Chains A and B, each alone.
Chain A
Amino acid sequence: MAYSEKVVDHYNNPRNVGSFGKDTPGVGTGLVGAPECGDVMKLQIKVNLDTGVIEDAKFKTFGCGSAIASSSLATEWLKGKTVDEAAKIKNTDIVNELKLPPVKIHCSVLAEDAIKAALADYREKQAVADARASST
Chain B
Amino acid sequence: MALKFPIFMDSQSTTPADPRVVEAMIPYFTEKFGHPASRNHSFGWEAETAVDRAREQIAKVIGARDPKEVIFTSGGTESINLAVKGVAEMYREKGNHIVTTAIEQRASLDVCKRLERHGYEVTYIPVRPDGLVDLETLRQAITDKTILISIMLANNEIGTIQDIAAIGRLAKEKGIILHADATQAVGKIPVNVEAAGIDLLSCTAHLIYGPKGVGALYVRRKAPRVRIAPLIDGGGHERGMRSGTLPVPLIVGFGRAAEICGEVMPEEGLRLAGLRDRLQDMILSNVDEAYLNGHPERRLPHNLNISFAYVEGESVLMGLNKESALSSGSACTSSTLEPSYVIGALGASAELAHSSIRFSLHRFTTAEEVEHVGARTIEVVKRLREMSPLYELAKEGVDLKSIHWKAE
A positions within 8 Å CB-CB of B? 3, 8, 11, 14, 17, 19, 31-42, 59-65, 67-68, 103, 106, 109-110, 113, 117
Known: A34-B405, A34-B407, A113-B408. A62 touches B389 (CB 8 A): yes
**A–B Cβ pairs within 8 angstroms, 26 of them:** A8-B318, A17-B386, A31-B403, A35-B351, A35-B405, A36-B351, A36-B354, A37-B331, A37-B350, A37-B407, A37-B408, A38-B330, A38-B331, A38-B332, A39-B312, A42-B389, A59-B387, A60-B387, A60-B388, A60-B392, A61-B387, A63-B312, A64-B315, A64-B332, A103-B337, A117-B406
Q: CB-CB < 8 A to B388: which residues of A?
A: 60-62
Q: Considering only CB atoms, which chain B residue lies closest to A106 in the complex?
A: B408
- Residue in A3, A62, A109 whose beta carbon sits within 8 Å of that of B408 in the complex: A109
Contact of B339 among A38, A67, A68, A113 (CB under 8 A): A38
Q: How far is the CA of A113 from the CA of B407 in the complex (A)?
A: 10
Are B387 and A14 touching (Cβ within 8 A)?
yes
Instruction: Report if B314 contacts A (CB, 8 A).
Output: yes
Q: Which of B326-345 contact A (CB under 8 A)?
A: 330-332, 337, 339
Distance between Cα atoms of A41 and B311 in the complex (Å): 12
Contacting A at CB under 8 A, from B301-334, are 310-312, 314-315, 318-319, 330-332
In the bound complex, what is the Cα–Cα distance between A38 and B405 (angstroms)?
Answer: 12
Chain B residues with CB below 8 A from A38, complex form: 312, 330-332, 339, 350-351, 354
Contact (A40, B330) CB under 8 Å given A34-B407, A62-B311: no
Report Cα–Cα, A110/B407, bound state, in Å.
Answer: 9
Selected from A60, A103, A106, A110, the residue in CB contact (under 8 A) with B389 is A60
CB distance from B15 to the nearest CB of A (A): 23
User: B408: which A residues are within 8 A, CB to CB?
Assistant: 32-33, 37, 39, 106, 109-110, 113
* A-B contacts, CB under 8 A, total: 88
Inside 8 A of B318's CB, which chain A residues have their CB?
A: 3, 8, 11, 64-65
B319, B337, B400, B405: residue with the most chain A Cβ atoms closer than 10 Å: B405
Closest residue of A by beta carbon distance from B385: A62
B349 at interface, CB cutoff 8 A = yes
B390 interface residue (CB < 8 Å to A): yes
Whether B389 lies near A41 (C-beta < 8 A) is yes
Taking the closest CB of chain A, its distance from the CB of B178, in whole angstroms, is 36
Residues of B near A42 (CB, < 8 A) are 389, 392
Task: Closest A residue to B388 by CB, please name it.
Answer: A62
- Distance (whole angstroms) from the CB of A80 to the closest CB of chain B: 22
Q: Tell me if A's interface is mostly helix, strand, loop or mixed.
A: mixed
A35-B351, A39-B408, A64-B314 provided; 8 other pairs, C-beta below 8 A? A33-B408, A38-B312, A38-B331, A38-B339, A62-B389, A64-B332, A65-B314, A109-B408
From known contacts A33-B405, A35-B350, A110-B408, infer whether A40 and B314 are also in contact, taking CB-CB under 8 Å: no
Q: Which of A11, A36, A41, A103 contacts B315 (CB 8 A)?
A: A11
A40 CB contacts on chain B under 8 angstroms = 389-390, 405
Cβ contacts under 8 Å, A63 to chain B: 312, 315
The 7 closest A-B pairs by CB, nearest first: A34-B405, A36-B350, A42-B389, A35-B351, A38-B354, A60-B389, A64-B314
Please, what's the 1-or-0 string for B331-374, where 1 marks a CB less than 8 Å from any CB in chain A? 11000010100000000011100100000000000000000000
A19 touches B392 (CB 8 A): yes
In the complex formed, the residue of B with least CB distance to A18 is B387
On chain A, the residues within 8 Å of B339 by CB distance are 38
- Asked, given contacts A17-B387, A32-B408, A33-B405, whether A68 binds B315 with beta carbons under 8 Å apart, the answer is yes
Complex CA gap A33/B351 in Å reads 12
Q: How far is the CA of A124 from the CA of B314 in the complex (A)?
A: 35
Closest to B332 in A: A64
**Residues in A neighbouring B319, C-beta threshold 8 A:** 11
The interface centre, meaning the residue of B312, B351, B406 with most chain A CB atoms within 10 A of its CB, is B312
For A61, list chain B residues within 8 Å (CB).
387-389
Instruction: For the complex, give the distance between the alpha carbons of A103 and B338 in Å.
Output: 12
Separation of A68 and B383 alpha carbons in the complex (Å): 12
Question: With a CB–CB cut-off of 8 A, which chain B residues contact A65?
Answer: 314-315, 318
Bound-state CA distance A64–B403 (Å) is 21
